[in-house]
C-alpha cells in the first residue's frame, strides 16, 4: 500500500562463495546471494506514519483515507501512487501539487521510524560476515538515504542503493531488481530476495476485512523478483495472507524466523537453548476471561490480557510464542510463556494476548493487575493436525521457557520494578 509507494524499503545481500541453499527438496548453489527487503520492510515500521500523514492531508480536502485504496497503489512509485490518490479522491490539485504537500510531511516524521524486530540483527549479521548488500526501493533515492540516516551504520552497510527515481519502472517490474544485481556484479540467478510488498491494509484489530484477490497473481515485489530470475523469501506483514505469496520460494512469519543457512548464508549464532534473546518489551492490565478453552479444552489455564490500548505494540511485534516474567499485584512474580496473534488452530477472528503462568494456582484471579516483561522469542504461530499435537507443543514451549528463564541473561528481568510491583506503571530499565 502507501508504505510501499512512499516508504519503500528494500535490502539486498550478496555472498561471494558457493554454499548450497536447499528449498523444496532441491538444492541451489549460490555463488552470490542478494537479499532485498521491501517497503515498510521488515526494516522499518511506517504504518502509523503513513496513516497519520494521509489522514491529515486528505482531511484538508474534506476527504477520509480509506485503507482499501491501498490495493490500487500496491507496489507503485510515489508519483504513481500520488496520481492514483488524486484521481480516486477527485482532489482539486495536480499530482505535483499533492507531492509537494505530502513529501515534507513524511520528511518531518522519518526520525520516528523504528527498525522492525530482526532488521538490525540481520543487517549486522550479514555485514559482519562480509556479505555485500544492496538496497532497492520504489522510493526516491533522497528519501531512502534520509530514512537510513536515522539508523546508525545502516547506510554504510550497503554496497549499492537503487531508488525508484533511478529506473524507468518500479515494482512489479523486474528492472529495479536487475539494476541492483548489476551494481553488485551479481548474476540474477544467484540472487536471493527478501520481500515484503503486501502491506497491512486495515487496522490491526480488525482482521476480518476481506482483501479482494483471487490469490493467483504474485505480490508486486515477489512477481518482480521472480521475473528477474531471482529466488524469493516472502515476509508477509499481515496475518492470514501467506497464500498471496504462493510464488515465493519460502514464506516466513518474520525476520526473527529467517534461517540464512537455508540459502547458503552464514547462520545466526544468537539462539540459546531454543530461544532468541530480544529487546525486552512490556505490557499489562487486568486479567480477563478468554475463550474458555485454556483450562477446559487444553488443560492449560491462561491469564489473558485485553488488546485494548496495545495495538501499536502488537502491530510492531510479530505474532508468535514469547516468554518472560509475569507479575501479579497480590501474588508475586512468575515465569511465563505466551502467544500473541490469531492462533491458527482455533482460527481466531481477533488478535489475542494469552500468557500461561508456569505455576499451579488454587484459584482464578480475574481482574487482578498483571504486568509482563517479554524477554525472548521461541517460534512463530503454527497450525497443528490435532489437538493433541497442539497441547504437546505448548508444553514443550513451557519447558523451554522454564529452563531458559533460569539463565542470568533472562533472570535479571524478574526484578524489573513494574513486574515486581504491577501497580508501578512504566518503570522499566
DSSP character for 296? I
pLDDT, mean of residues 250-263: 91
Say whether both 226 and 322 belong to one domain. no
Q: Is residue 3 in a domain?
A: no
Q: Is residue 218 in a domain?
A: yes
Say whether both 254 and 314 belong to one domain. no
Q: What angle do CA 350, 217, 201 make, to 5 degrees?
A: 30
Which of 240, 268, 296 is the last residue before a domain boundary?
268
Would you list the DSSP string of 144-208? Answer: HHHHHHTSTTHHHHEEEEE-GGGSSS-TTSSHHHHHHHHHTT--GGG-EEEE--S---S-TT-TT
Q: Is residue 180 in a domain?
A: yes
Which of 249, 268, 287 is the last residue before a domain boundary?
268
Hey, which residues does 83 pair with through a beta bridge? none
Say whether both 44 and 178 belong to one domain. yes
Tell me the three state secondary structure of residue 29.
strand
Strand (E) positions, 267-423? 276-288, 304-305, 320-328, 332-341, 352-357, 369-379
Residue pLDDT, tens place only, 292-329 = 666 567 888 899 999 888 887 888 899 999 999 999 98
pTM for the model: 0.78
DSSP character for 218? P
Say whether both 162 and 292 belong to one domain. no
Say whether both 280 and 244 belong to one domain. no
Show the domain range for 314.
Answer: 276-420
* pLDDT, position 349: 73
Assign 423 a pLDDT band (cuts: 50, 70, 90).
low
Distances from the Cα of 57 to the Cα of 34, 65, 84, 193, 268, angstroms: 37, 9, 15, 34, 43
Say whether both 217 and 118 belong to one domain. yes
Hey, which residues does 12 pair with through a beta bridge? 134, 193
Average pLDDT, the chain: 78
* pLDDT, position 89: 92
Q: Is residue 293 in a domain?
A: yes
Residue 377 has pLDDT above 50, yes or no: yes
Q: Is residue 53 in a domain?
A: yes
pLDDT, mean of residues 357-367: 91
* pLDDT, position 335: 98
C-alpha grid cell, residue 413: 528481568
246 or 3, higher pLDDT: 246
Residue pLDDT, tens place only, 73-83 = 655 677 888 89
C-alpha grid cell, residue 375: 524477554
Which of 235, 268, 301 is the last residue before a domain boundary?
268
Residue 252 has pLDDT above 70, yes or no: yes
Catalytic sites, residue numbers: 354
9 or 357, higher pLDDT: 357
Tell me the three state secondary structure of residue 311.
helix
Cis check: omega of the bond before 172, within 30 degrees of 0: yes
Helices (H) and strands (E) in the chain, counts: 15, 16
* pLDDT, position 140: 81
Assign 364 a pLDDT band (cuts: 50, 70, 90).
confident
Q: Is residue 220 in a domain?
A: yes
Distance CA 413, CA 404 (A): 12
The CATH number that applies at residue 86 is 3.40.50.1000
Residue pLDDT, tens place only, 89-127 = 999 999 999 999 988 887 777 666 777 789 889 989 989
In the chain, the number of structural domains is 2
* pLDDT, position 294: 62
Residue 225 has pLDDT above 90, yes or no: no
The CATH number that applies at residue 346 is 2.40.30.30
Residue 268 has pLDDT above 90, yes or no: yes
pLDDT, mean of residues 70-75: 61
Say whether both 397 and 363 belong to one domain. yes
* pLDDT, position 352: 86
Q: Pairing relation of β-strands 231-234 and 250-251?
A: parallel
Distance CA 227, CA 12 (A): 16
Amino acid at each position: 500500500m502507501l508504505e510501499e509507494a512512499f516508504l519503500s524499503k528494500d535490502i539486498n545481500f550478496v555472498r561471494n562463495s558457493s554454499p548450497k541453499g536447499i528449498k523444496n527438496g532441491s538444492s541451489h548453489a549460490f555463488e552470490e546471494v542478494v537479499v532485498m527487503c521491501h517497503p515498510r520492510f521488515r526494516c522499518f515500521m511506517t504504518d502509523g506514519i503513513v496513516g497519520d500523514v494521509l489522514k491529515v492531508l486528505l482531511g484538508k480536502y474534506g476527504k477520509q483515507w480509506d485503507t482499501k485504496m491501498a490495493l490500487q497503489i500496491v507496489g507503485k512509485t510515489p508519483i504513481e501512487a500520488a496520481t492514483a490518490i488524486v484521481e480516486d479522491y477527485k482532489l482539486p490539485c495536480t499530482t505535483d501539487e499533492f507531492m509537494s504537500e505530502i513529501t515534507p510531511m513524511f520528511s518531518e516524521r522519518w526520525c520516528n521510524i523504528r527498525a522492525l524486530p530482526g532488521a538490525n540483527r540481520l543487517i549486522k549479521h550479514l555485514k559482519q560476515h562480509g556479505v555485500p548488500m544492496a538496497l532497492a526501493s520504489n522510493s526516491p533515492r533522497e528519501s531512502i538515504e534520509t530514512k537510513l540516516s536515522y539508523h546508525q551504520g545502516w547506510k554504510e552497510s550497503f554496497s549499492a542503493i537503487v531508488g525508484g527515481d533511478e529506473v524507468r519502472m518500479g515494482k512489479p517490474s523486474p528492472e529495479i531488481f536487475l539494476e541492483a544485481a548489476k551494481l553488485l556484479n551479481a548474476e540474477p540467478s544467484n540472487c536471493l530476495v527478501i520481500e515484503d510488498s503486501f502491506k497491512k491494509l486495515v487496522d490491526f484489530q480488525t482482521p476480518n476485512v476481506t482483501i479482494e484477490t483471487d490469490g493467483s497473481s504474485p505480490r508486486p515485489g515477489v512477481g518482480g523478483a521472480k521475473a528477474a530470475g531471482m529466488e524469493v523469501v516472502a515476509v508477509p506483514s499481515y496475518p492470514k495472507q501467506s497464500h498471496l505469496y504462493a510464488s515465493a520460494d519460502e514464506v516466513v512469519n518474520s525476520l526473527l524466523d529467517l534461517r540464512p543457512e537455508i540459502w547458503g548464508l552464514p547462520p545466526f549464532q544468537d539462539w540459546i537453548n531454543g530461544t532468541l534473546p530480544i529487546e525486552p518489551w512490556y505490557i499489562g492490565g487486568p486479567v480477563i476471561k478468554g475463550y474458555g478453552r485454556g483450562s477446559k479444552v487444553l488443560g492449560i489455564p491462561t491469564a489473558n490480557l485485553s488488546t485494548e490500548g496495545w495495538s501499536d505494540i502488537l502491530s510492531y511485534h510479530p505474532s508468535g510464542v514469547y516468554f518472560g516474567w509475569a507479575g501479579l499485584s497480590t501474588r508475586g512474580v512468575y515465569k511465563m510463556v505466551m502467544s500473541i496473534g490469531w492462533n491458527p488452530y482455533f482460527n481466531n477472528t481477533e488478535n489475542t494476548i494469552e500468557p500461561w503462568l508456569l505455576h499451579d494456582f488454587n484459584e482464578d484471579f480475574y481482574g487482578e493487575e498483571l504486568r509482563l516483561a517479554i524477554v525472548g522469542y521461541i517460534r512463530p504461530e503454527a497450525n497443528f493436525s490435532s489437538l493433541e499435537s497442539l497441547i504437546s507443543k505448548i508444553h514443550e514451549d513451557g519447558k523451554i521457557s522454564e529452563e531458559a528463564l533460569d539463565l542470568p541473561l533472562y533472570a535479571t528481568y524478574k526484578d524489573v520494578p513494574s513486574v515486581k510491583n504491577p501497580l508501578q506503571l512504566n518503570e522499566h530499565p
